Structure 1
C-alpha cells in the first residue's frame, strides 16, 4: 500500500549561488522511515513542485550513517513535478532554497515537497 506526505519548503535562501550555507534556519529536515527496510516501507521517492517562478533547491539525504552531500535540484515552474528515488536506508532529508545567481531575490515563491513510499 502506498503512503505519502506533503509540505512546503521554507522561505529564505539556505544556500548561496555556489552552494555555500547562508543559514540553516531556512531549511527543513524530514525524518522518514528508512526506505526499503522490512516489509512495510518500500521504495522512497522525493518530489518537488513550484509555481510563479523556477526554484533551485539543495537536498541532502542521510542513510543512518552519513549525509550524501548537498545536491542541487532545479525545479521548473513550467514543468511537472521533479522526482527522484532515494537510496535504500534513507532516514533524513535536508532541504533548502539555493540562489540561482548572486542577484536572485525570489526566495518566497511556493515550493512544495512530496515523499511517497511505493
Structure 2
C-alpha cells in the first residue's frame, strides 16, 4: 500500500551558492524506510513544487552508512512538480534551500515536498 508524507521546506538559506553550509537550522531531515525491499516497499520518490519564485534546493540521501548522493535541484514556479527516484537504500533525506547566486535574497518562497513510498 502506498504511503505519502507531505511537508514544507523551511524558510531561510541553509547553503551558499558554492554549496557551503550557512546553518543547519534551515534544513529539514526526513527519515524513510529503505526502498526496494522485497515484500515491504517498492520504489520511493521525492517530489518538489514551488510558487511565487524559483528556488534551488540541495538534497542529500544517506543509505545508513554514508551520504550516497547530493543533488542540486532547481524548482521552477511556472513548471509542474519535480520528482526524483530515491536510491534503493535511502534511509535519511536532507533538504535545504541553496542560494542560486551570491545576490539571491528570496529565502521564503513556498516550497512543498512529497515523499512517496510505493
TM-score, normalized by length of structure 2? 0.96
Cross-structure match for 1:79: 79
Cross-structure match for 1:106: 106
User: Any runs of at least 4 consecutive aligned residues in structure 1 with deviations exceeding 6 A, and if so which?
Assistant: none
Deviation at 1:69, TM superposition (A): 4.6
Secondary structure in 1 matching 2:68 = coil
Q: Distance in 1 between matches of 2:91 and 2:39?
A: 16
Kindly tell me the number of residue pairs found equivalent between the two proteins.
118
Deviation at 1:70, TM superposition (A): 3.1
Unaligned segments of structure 2, at least 5 residues = none
Cα RMSD over matched residues?
A: 0.9
Q: Kindly indicate whether residue 55 of structure 2 is the aligned counterpart of residue 40 of structure 1.
A: no
Q: Distance in 1 between matches of 2:46 and 2:19?
A: 20
Q: Distance in 1 between matches of 2:46 and 2:114?
A: 6
Q: Distance in 1 between matches of 2:69 and 2:100?
A: 18
Deviation at 1:57, TM superposition (A): 0.2
TM-score, normalized by length of structure 1? 0.96
Q: Distance in 2 between matches of 1:50 and 1:97?
A: 12
Unaligned segments of structure 1, at least 5 residues = none
